[in-house]
């Protein structure tokens, strides 16, 4: 994918605030701190377009980035982070759910899993929930640079088993936002989806 332009469009907290031009969008979900914002920056080859933090809970709104004036990438708040206030969790849960369930222009959800650890209950629930709502996610494992190359296959297989991924045709793409590993494969897959 050649990125000719990447512009921040809006931070939305309700469906009505999302862009209304009907262009397709791809959203990134995953636990807090899994590396959603980092992956987005790496895909776009920008250092600081999406805000990144060592502290989980950094992204708290639906953040839209307009790419090549033709589609959007959407950075979502992470799930499974207990330390954000109850009030906030009560708000973003329904917000993200409503977005994932009802957004018509959403053509692909990318679910991120930290490759170092087996998927958590939250990850499993999100994966099942997405399936149930007809949003088969593209599974992307993050932080490949944190494990040895010799462990790639084992950890990727672990993710498949723990998520109960049925079809061996569905990929788990391993990536690193640090080294760029796997980024091309993610783009190839998303570009195919955008062409459908
Ligand atoms: P929330 O917005 O809180 O939901 O988190 P997020 O999923 O957007 O994570 P973010 O991109 O902010 O990254 C969290 C931390 O993980 C940061 O310290 C990043 O530098 C680090 N990180 C993300 N991706 C990678 C990666 O591929 N390799 C390494 N080594 N660190 C990464
Ligand atoms: Mg983030």
* Shortest-distance Cα residue to atom 24 of ligand 1: 35
Question: What ipTM was assigned to the predicted interfaces of this complex?
Answer: 0.99
**Closest listed ligand to the CA of 177:** 1
- Long-range CB contacts for residues 181-189, cutoff 8 Å, separation at least 24: 181/144, 181/145, 182/140, 182/144, 183/42, 183/43, 186/39, 186/43, 186/110, 186/138, 186/140, 187/1, 187/43, 189/138
Closest ligand 1 atom, CA of 77?
A: 4
What is the sign, positive or negative, of the torsion defined by CA atoms of 181, 182, 187, 188?
positive
How close is the Cα of 148 to the center of ligand 1, in Å?
19
Distance CA 77, CA 96 (A): 8
Per the DSSP assignment, residues forming a β-bridge with 7 are 66
How close is the Cα of 63 to the center of ligand 2, in Å?
9
CA dihedral 64, 182, 54, 85 (to 10 degrees): 50
How close is the Cα of 12 to the center of ligand 2, in Å?
14
* Shortest-distance Cα residue to atom 30 of ligand 1: 143
Distance CA 119, CA 155 (A): 10
The b/e string for 59-78 (b: 16+ C-beta within 10 A; e otherwise) is bbbbbbbbbeeebbbbbbbb
Return the residue matching tokens 């907290």.
Answer: 13
For residue range 36-91, list pLDDT tens digits in order: 999 999 999 998 888 877 777 667 789 999 999 999 999 998 887 655 566 656 66
Ligand 1 binding pocket, CB closer than 6 Å: 30, 32-38, 52-54, 56-59, 77-78, 142-143, 145-146, 176-178
Average pLDDT of the residues in 133-148: 97
* Shortest-distance Cα residue to atom 13 of ligand 1: 35
How many C-beta atoms lie closer than 10 Å to residue 98's C-beta?
A: 12
User: What's the predicted TM-score (pTM) here?
Assistant: 0.94
* Shortest-distance Cα residue to atom 31 of ligand 1: 143
Q: Which domains does the chain have, with CATH numbers?
A: 6-195 (3.40.50.300)
Return the residue matching tokens 């959603």.
Answer: 36
Distance CA 72, CA 194 (A): 11
Average pLDDT of the residues in 154-174: 90
Q: Which residues contact 86 (CB under 8 A, 6 or more apart)?
A: none
Q: From 49, 53, 126, give the residue whose CB has the most ligand 1 atoms within 8 Å, as the site to mutate.
A: 53
| Phi and psi, residue 37, nearest 5° | -65, -35
**Closest listed ligand to the CA of 39:** 1
- Which of 16-20, 92-96, 114-118, 178-182 is the least confident region? 92-96
Distance of CA 195 to the CA centre of its chain: 20
């Amino acid at each position: 994918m050649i990125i000719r332009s990447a512009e921040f469009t809006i931070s939305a907290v309700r469906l009505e605030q999302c862009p209304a031009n009907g262009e397709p969008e791809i959203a990134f979900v995953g636990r807090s701190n899994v590396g959603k914002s980092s992956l987005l920056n790496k895909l776009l080859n920008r250092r600081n377009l999406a805000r990144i933090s060592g502290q989980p809970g950094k992204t708290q709104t639906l953040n839209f980035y307009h790419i090549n004036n033709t589609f959007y990438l959407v950075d979502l708040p992470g799930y499974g982070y207990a330390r954000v206030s109850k009030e906030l969790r009560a708000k973003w849960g329904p917000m993200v759910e409503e977005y994932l369930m009802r957004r018509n222009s959403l053509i692909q959800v990318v679910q991120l899993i930290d490759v170092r650890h087996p998927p958590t209950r939250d990850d499993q629930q999100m994966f099942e929930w997405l399936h149930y709502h007809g949003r088969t996610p593209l599974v992307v494992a993050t932080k490949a640079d944190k494990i040895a190359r010799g462990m790639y296959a084992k950890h990727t297989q672990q993710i498949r088993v723990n998520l109960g991924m049925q079809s061996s045709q569905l990929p788990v793409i391993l990536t690193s936002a640090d080294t760029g590993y796997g980024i091309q494969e993610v783009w190839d897959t998303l570009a195919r989806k955008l062409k459908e």
